[in-house]
Amino acid sequence: MTALISALLAFSLAMPEAAVAAAKPKSKQAVQKSAKSARVLAQRAAASKKAAARKAHYSTKTSRKGATKYATSASRSAFKRVVAHEPFKYKLQTYDVVPEALLLASNAAVVFNENNGEVLFSKNNQAPMPIASITKLMTAMVTLDAKLPMDELVTIDEADVDKLKNTSSRLQVGTTLTRAELLLLALMSSENRAAAALGRTYPGGIHAFVNKMNAKANAIGMKHALFYDSTGLNSGNVASAADLVMMVQAAYDYPEIRRYSTTPEYEVFLPSGRRLAYNNTNALVKEDEWQIGLSKTGFLSEAGKCLVMQATISNTPLVIVLLDSVGKYTRLADANRIKAWLEKGGGAKMLYVRS
């Protein structure tokens, strides 16, 4: 027993001082110091992770709210991105990004720059869709191409009455107007009986007229266009938004279409003494802040609200196409959104790449 005790005593004397200190319980002060160090390390790790996330946020092209501001150069040809407290710099490259997203209610849309042929905005631009009374732009071109006398009197016939959609008209059967007046009412007020009469009185009748409409569409490069009538009441009249850019450009070459489609209002005086007041179906033609060179609206339940225009915004001639919009004023609201977007620099080409 004595020998065992002596051996244990000798072993304890041989232990290093550091090991003895480690074997002793830690003091309260040491424990607190250790915990504090752990908290500091955790805080540093969290801060590092947060900084990395913030850096990734700023480097993502779709995440520029809040800290991002845009300044337009004197030529308005490019934008500089100014980021508050940004951890790295950017250099300017090219790619489509805008100061803020352009969100439209229309299901298909195109904004086309006529100066350089650039598409500034596009949404479902290749999808064939019913175009309703946008059809009447083609009706006008085919009518004018025929070189028929525009002062010739044309009488509304029973055949001009809409039996497909049963839409109403103030042009009663027996009403007589000049061909020019019928074209004016078809374009500015989307008068269906006027458009039907134009097709009916074409040489060869309505079938020859529709064939000419499709031939014209093919000639100007409308890949998805198909026409069945002169009014647009047939939902089989379809085209893509891209097709309609070409149709608007072709129609713009006709002075009568430019003038008639943007006439704000017109009065028809009937032989009976009755007066019919018509207004343009596009209210924007009456607004001073808009410079509209050509306009046409359309509506069918199958097509939604439609609008095409040639307009000048910020000294740039544009074609705007809006198809399948829902709501009474939505297509006009979309047009105003586009105008505001362009005036703020939307459509400029930019890319921000980390340098």
Residues 93 and 112 both lie in one domain: no
Quick one: which H or E segment has residue 285?
A: none
Nearest to 281 by CA among 228, 213, 329: 329
SS3 236: coil
Instruction: Give the best-scoring range by mean pLDDT among 70-79, 293-302, 337-346.
Output: 293-302
Residues 148 and 96 both lie in one domain: no
Angle CA 10–12–14, to nearest 5: 70
Name the pLDDT band for 81 (thresholds 50, 70, 90). Answer: very low
> Is position 248 within any domain?
yes
Any binding-site annotation on 61? no
Instruction: Give the best-scoring range by mean pLDDT among 65-74, 78-87, 168-177.
Output: 168-177
Residues 227 and 180 both lie in one domain: yes
Please tell me which residue in 133, 240, 261, 295 is annotated as part of the active site: 133
Residue 245's pLDDT is 98
Which domain does 351 fall in, by range? 51-100+347-355
Identify whether the C-beta of residue 96 lies closer than 8 Å to the C-beta of residue 213.
no
Name the pLDDT band for 105 (thresholds 50, 70, 90). Answer: very high
Name which of 72-81, 172-181, 284-293, 306-315 the model is least confident about: 72-81
pLDDT at 237 exceeding the cut of 80? yes
Active site residue 314: no
Query: pLDDT of 289-334, one tens digit each?
Result: 999 999 999 999 999 999 999 999 999 999 999 999 987 779 999 9
CA distance 124 to 154: 40
Task: For residue 121, give the CATH number of its domain.
Answer: 3.40.710.10
Query: pLDDT of 5-56, one tens digit each?
Result: 444 444 444 444 444 444 445 555 655 556 656 665 666 666 555 555 544 4
pLDDT at 95 exceeding the cut of 70? no
Query: pLDDT of 161-171, one tens digit each?
Result: 999 999 999 99
> Is position 198 within any domain?
yes
- Domains in the chain, number: 2
Burial (CB count within 10 angstroms: exposed 0-12, middle 13-18, buried 19+), residue 145 = exposed
Identify whether the C-beta of residue 134 lies closer than 8 Å to the C-beta of residue 170.
no
Residues 230 and 354 both lie in one domain: no
Please tell me which residue in 106, 123, 189, 190 is annotated as part of the active site: 190
> Is position 150 within any domain?
yes
> Is position 286 within any domain?
yes
Beta strands of 114-229 (E only): which ranges? 118-123, 129-130, 153-155, 176-178
Please tell me which residue in 106, 123, 136, 295 is annotated as part of the active site: 136
Active site residue 235: no
Residues 352 and 310 both lie in one domain: no
Name which of 67-76, 127-136, 152-161, 194-203 the model is least confident about: 67-76
Active site residue 190: yes
Q: What is the DSSP string of 109-129?
A: EEEEETTTTEEEEEESTT--E
Structure tokens at 182: 């019928």
> Is position 11 within any domain?
no
Instruction: State the distance between the two ends of the chain, measured CA to CA, in whole angstroms.
Output: 80
Name which of 74-88, 178-192, 239-253 the model is least confident about: 74-88
Residues 164 and 87 both lie in one domain: no
pLDDT at 351 exceeding the cut of 90? no
pLDDT at 67 exceeding the cut of 60? no
CA distance 337 to 216: 32
